[in-house]
Amino acid sequence: MLRDLVRQVKSFKGFTRKSILSEPLSIFGDENFDDAGAAKVGENYVVVSTDGIVQELVREDPWSAGFFSVLVNVNDVVAKGARPIGYVNVVSSSKEAFRKEIFEGIKFGLKKYRLQMLKGHTNPDTDYDSVDAAVFGVAKRFVPSSGARMGDALVLTIDLDGFPGKRSWVRTFDSVKSKSSEEVLNRLEGVVRICELGLVSAMRDISGTGIIGTLAMLCESSRVGATVRLNKILLPEGVQLSDWLLTYPAMGFIFSTGQPERCEAILGDHALSSSVVGETSLDMKIILSGNSGKEVFMDLERESVFGFKRVHDQG
């Protein structure tokens, strides 16, 4: 069963599409795998993330594509310890009704997260439909995805108060739309808080790669391995683990820490569920542990989520 689960996750489109990231990174000469970038301005960091919404979602559900262009970027900057403040975008479509749906989804997202629309560009002279956006935030302490240390606890924190859905190949778990802005921002504030207190060494938001894929990106960024106990992964009621591992949750993060109990207490005060799902190691292997035994998910000495060619030194 574990071997089948490994194959399922590694063949998942949300996971395999990350392998092209080595192309731009090799050209720009910087193996920076972070969710968002940052520049220090005075005593704070300006944190920026950008995302293009997958084409299948844009075509099938333009309203959701607009909404997700806000949500995914918010999660990226929050994972770095930043409070999001502003949003910019580029919307391309020749169809007026289609563009309106996108704009309505964006408007809903901006209101939900209380973001300022800083700038938008609309391109009507196109034969394709797309939504590309960025969110800006401010952090007192920037948390990279490359800071995990050997022996750190790996903690999954997630809002399980929601419901599953599916758009094209993208599985979703919505825990945001039906909540008030106060409820949503209170949960995100808990994540920012543990970052500001210096309790977190590395963090990523759970992306389209799913929980295990996101954890693998954190490990590759930090050059560590990990053991993951599958029975510790938080599951919504009625959702199978095999489906959950391929799901994009509206609010979920994975992070490394030397103080898991303190982090869990703070996050619990902000209505987020948390669980220690494993720990980091030096051997560069990501090992999944379940009731039927153990299985290597990735050997980061030989494999790369981001598509880099790893050369293992046999000598």
For the chain, domain boundaries? 1-34+144-315, 36-142
Write the CATH number of the domain with boundaries 1-34+144-315: 3.90.650.10
Give yes or no for residue 87 having a pLDDT over 70: yes
Residue 146, SS3? Answer: coil
**pLDDT grade for 30, boundaries at 50, 70 and 90:** low
Average pLDDT over residues 141-146: 95
Residue 100 vs residue 209, higher pLDDT? 100
Q: Is there a contact between 307 and 20 (Cβ–Cβ < 8 Å)?
A: yes
Tokens of 244: 């959950």
Closest CA to 34 of 3, 76, 4, 66: 76
Query: What burial class does residue 33 get, using C-beta atoms within 10 Å of its C-beta: 0-12 exposed, 13-18 middle, 19+ buried?
Result: buried
Strand order in the sheet with 247-249: 163-167, 170-174, 247-249
**pLDDT grade for 34, boundaries at 50, 70 and 90:** confident
Average pLDDT over residues 263-267: 98
* pLDDT of amino acid 313: 44
**pLDDT grade for 31, boundaries at 50, 70 and 90:** low
Tokens 């401010």 sit on residue: 138
**pLDDT grade for 93, boundaries at 50, 70 and 90:** very high
DSSP single-letter state for residue 19: G
How many Å apart are CA 16 and CA 20, to the nearest integer?
8
How many Å apart are CA 3 and CA 160, to the nearest integer?
27
Q: Is there a contact between 112 and 183 (Cβ–Cβ < 8 Å)?
A: no
Q: Is there a contact between 103 and 66 (Cβ–Cβ < 8 Å)?
A: yes
Helices and strands (H, E) in the chain, number of each type: 10, 15
* pLDDT of amino acid 135: 99
How many Å apart are CA 248 and CA 122, to the nearest integer?
27
* pLDDT of amino acid 310: 64
Digit-coded pLDDT (tens) for 114-141: 999 999 999 999 999 999 999 999 999 9
How many Å apart are CA 145 and CA 214, to the nearest integer?
10
* pLDDT of amino acid 16: 80
Give yes or no for residue 194 having a pLDDT over 60: yes
Average pLDDT over residues 99-126: 98
pTM summary value: 0.92
Digit-coded pLDDT (tens) for 65-82: 999 999 999 999 999 999
Average pLDDT over residues 168-172: 83
* pLDDT of amino acid 133: 98
* pLDDT of amino acid 312: 55
* pLDDT of amino acid 292: 82
Q: Is there a contact between 45 and 39 (Cβ–Cβ < 8 Å)?
A: yes
Tokens of 236: 């919504």
What is the CB neighbour count within 10 angstroms for residue 50? 17
How many Å apart are CA 51 and CA 69, to the nearest integer?
7
When mean pLDDT is compared over 3-17, 227-241, 296-310, the highest value belongs to 227-241
Residue 315 vs residue 230, higher pLDDT? 230
Average pLDDT over residues 253-260: 98
Closest CA to 18 of 33, 6, 37: 33
Tokens 């609309």 sit on residue: 122
How many Å apart are CA 221 and CA 55, to the nearest integer?
27
What is the CB neighbour count within 10 angstroms for residue 121? 10
H helix runs in 44-174, sequence order? 55-60, 62-78, 96-113
Residue 15 vs residue 72, higher pLDDT? 72
Q: Identify the weakest region by mean pLDDT among 21-25, 221-225, 303-307.
A: 21-25
Tokens 């990106």 sit on residue: 217
Average pLDDT over residues 207-225: 93
Average pLDDT over residues 26-54: 88
Write the CATH number of the domain with boundaries 36-142: 3.30.1330.10
Average pLDDT over residues 31-58: 91
